[in-house]
Amino acid sequence: MELLQFARGPALTVALAVFAFGALWRLLGVLLLERRGVYSAPRPGAPSIFASALAGIIGKMWPHATFLKQSLFPVLNGYLFHLGLAISVLLFAPHILFIKSISGLSWPALPSNLVYGIAVVTAVSLVAALVHRLTDPVLRLISRADDYVSWMLTFLPVVSGIAAVSHIGARYETLLAVHILTVCALLVWFPFGKLMHAFLFVVSRGETGIRFKHRGADI
Amino acid sequence: MTASTTATGVAFDAQGQASDEQRRNLAMQALVRDLAATGAAQLESCVRCGQCANACHFYVTTGDPKYTPIRKLRPLEQAYHRHVGPFAPLFRLFGIVPRVTAAELEEWEQLLFDSCTMCGRCTLACPMGIDIADLVKQSRHAMFAAGLIPDRLELMDRTTKLWGSPATPSEDFADIIREAGTQFGVAMKIDEPKADYLITVAPAELTEHTKALADAAKVLNALGVKWTYHSDGFEASNIGYLNGDIALQETMTRKLIDAAIKIGAHTLVLPECGHAYGAARWEAGRWYGDKLPVRVIHMTEFLDEAVTSGRIKLKKVGQSASFHDPCQLGRRGGVIKAPRNILAALGVEVKELADAGTVGWCCGGGGGVVSNKRADPLRYRVFEMKRRQVEDAGADRFVTACGQCRITLNLGASKYKWDRKAESLLELVADNLIA
Ligand code: SF4
Ligand code: SF4
């Protein structure tokens, strides 16, 4: 079997299955744990549980000014690569075509050159995040293997994608196959490591929103 | 009790005669037992961004990364991933997450007790909304179960079990109240069989802050309401809540609520104490269900209601003041406007500290840290930061609404020969009541 066929076929199917089952398993494993009740009367005027959770999810998108001053780089760089990844994955014409071929869904793309530029910026931003992790004493101390594995498996699809689009280093088909395989690796790892924060942030922030809005406190 | 040091030179205290393996197992049982969905989701969500470090006064004032808040949860995280989380069998099978060891717990005693005031500033800074302060509290349950807490805190625990208060035997409470009444010339109510308001106290008020007992009485008398102190339920600073001793937390909570029920009180007023608010306002229902039969409020809320409704009148003090927000009252309790309303009613101009209200810095002594001698050097570093903020604000007075914060700040002041004193908001109100 050609490498590209393998990547597009069995590799991707297995990776998607591991991703879907693994992510569902982890989410259910967390959500089905016993919930503790709320032990107190709410502060008068406290919003509903739903509104409180939403306040947590949205409120935590941006730090309080005093924290922003101290964490300007991680906050801004974090936004940069998250947005860059989202645009590169979702608004690149070949990706949309691929998604359409398996799901029937499609939406307008951004010009490919623009997405290419954004992907390059994303790669640089990811490198900056890694350098920060390796040089900041706090981050060095608290980082786990997961942080480096997750970084690598996020970075590889970005650079392999850039290489494939710019035909650098090998035949296009080979580069595309490598790109897809790096995406497969990412999907397989996704449920097991910190990348799951893409889903779990909703639960985590939501719970804190509920706890603190109940008390009439800020988030 | 033994004071020892770990192989890495970290001091720890151990209580009881349990072996290392027994301690470890007791801790693990407690860690695993406590982990409900909220904590689990939060432990799963950390992205190791490190932003919590800059929020923690112990990291900021020492620059030592070991004080990074999320790191304080390491034993809890390990226990979760090995025994509770969705991939626990895999993580155990492949040894991906190592066992928590007794040595690790010994080393973490200092991180969980000496260098965490459960102030929740890290919670506020965490972009994932991880309530680290609450998870530190959970971790303390395990440390208590393992017999690994600072001796000073354990002593308070034992004293409270014996006396019903860390400050004085319950039998002496009525006498202390009467004496304070005589000393400060205020009519006291003690052990009344029926009352609408049950007034509770913090340990310092039974020793060095006895004026607070009279100040509260003075305000209540001026309001003309039916109130009492009661020997059956008076001690509100819940030592069990701080030490991770859940059984004691329940006992102390029940004493208060049962006493309130017994005398038919509709309101239980907590003293000027932050952690009392954390324990009684938000956690008492744990043993009584959602609907407590009595309303639980902090002295500051009580004063705010009395002042704002016009039921008491205050003289205008003038001058300016900075207010130190006790963490459990403000950031974690949502009571931020009330003290400022009271200061406004006193005609005091509030000059805010650089970080005030929700983002205010802890005094450095909460969570039992002020009672833990071993933590003094760390606490004094935090004090220096707070002192700078107070000086920069340039107000005439420095006021707070927690006796423990006052003690912490005034201990710092006397160490550094600082000529300022943290004052009590209650005292300011009582001293300026228009009779
Ligand atoms: S701020 Fe929150 S997400 Fe970031 S390292 Fe600390 S606990 Fe983890
Ligand atoms: S609760 Fe306060 S003292 Fe404890 S880790 Fe968080 S910021 Fe530091």
- Token readout for A26 is 């982890």
For chain B, the domain total comes to 3
Domain holding A19, by residue range, is 2-31+65-214
- State the pLDDT at residue A118: 98
User: Does B435 reside within a domain?
Assistant: no
A-proximal residues of B, 305-334, CB under 8 Å = 330-334
Contacts of B4-7 with C-beta under 8 Å, sequence gap 24+, read: B4/B106, B6/B103, B6/B106, B6/B107, B7/B103
Interface with chain A: mutation pick from B38, B58, B353, highest number of A CBs within 10 Å: B38
Ligand nearest to the CA of B72: 2
CATH number, position B359: 3.40.50
Instruction: Measure CA of the first residue to CA of the last residue in chain B; give whole Å.
Output: 52
Put simply, the answer to whether B86 touches A34 (Cβ < 8 Å) is no
Q: How far are the Cα atoms of A43, A117, A195, B218 from residue A205, in angstroms, in the given order?
A: 20, 32, 16, 44
User: Does A22 reside within a domain?
Assistant: yes
A209 pLDDT tier (thresholds 50, 70, 90): very high
pLDDT per position as a tens digit, B222-281: 999 999 999 999 999 999 999 999 999 999 999 999 999 999 999 999 999 999 999 999
CA of A203 to the centre of ligand 2 (A): 22
User: Does A181 reside within a domain?
Assistant: yes
Q: How far apart are CA B404 and CA B166, in angstroms?
A: 13
Q: Give the number of the atom of ligand 1 that is nearest the alpha carbon of residue B53.
A: 6
pLDDT per position as a tens digit, B309-347: 999 999 999 899 999 999 999 999 999 999 999 999 999
- State the pLDDT at residue B4: 85
User: Does B120 reside within a domain?
Assistant: yes
- State the pLDDT at residue A65: 96
Q: How far are the Cα atoms of B293, B300, B328 from residue B272, in angstroms, in the given order?
A: 22, 7, 11
- State the pLDDT at residue B290: 67
Out of A36, A201, A212, closest to residue B38 by CB? A36
CA Rg value for chain B:
22
CATH number, position B163: 3.40.50.1860
pTM of the predicted model as reported, rounded to 2 decimal places: 0.96
B14 pLDDT tier (thresholds 50, 70, 90): very high
Is B30:A24 a contact under the CB 8 Å cutoff? no
For chain A, the domain total comes to 1
The shortest C-alpha distance from A156 to chain B (Å) reads 19
Out of A43, A63, A212, closest to residue B127 by CB? A63
CATH number, position A103: 1.20.950.20
Domain holding B57, by residue range, is 2-149
In a shared domain, residues B29 and B114: yes
User: Does A52 reside within a domain?
Assistant: no
- Token readout for A34 is 């016993």
For a ligand 2 pocket test, name from B74, B123, B327, B362 the mutation site with the most ligand atoms within 8 angstroms of its C-beta.
B362
Over pLDDT 90: what percentage of chain A?
A: 90
Q: Give the number of the atom of ligand 2 that is nearest the alpha carbon of residue B366.
A: 3
Q: Give the number of the atom of ligand 1 that is nearest the alpha carbon of residue B68.
A: 6
Q: How far apart are CA B307 and CA B412, in angstroms?
A: 32
In a shared domain, residues B300 and B316: no
pLDDT per position as a tens digit, B54-87: 999 999 999 999 999 999 999 999 999 999 999 9
Nearest CA to ligand 2 atom 3: B116
User: Does A146 reside within a domain?
Assistant: yes
B59 close contact with A: CB closer than 8 A: yes
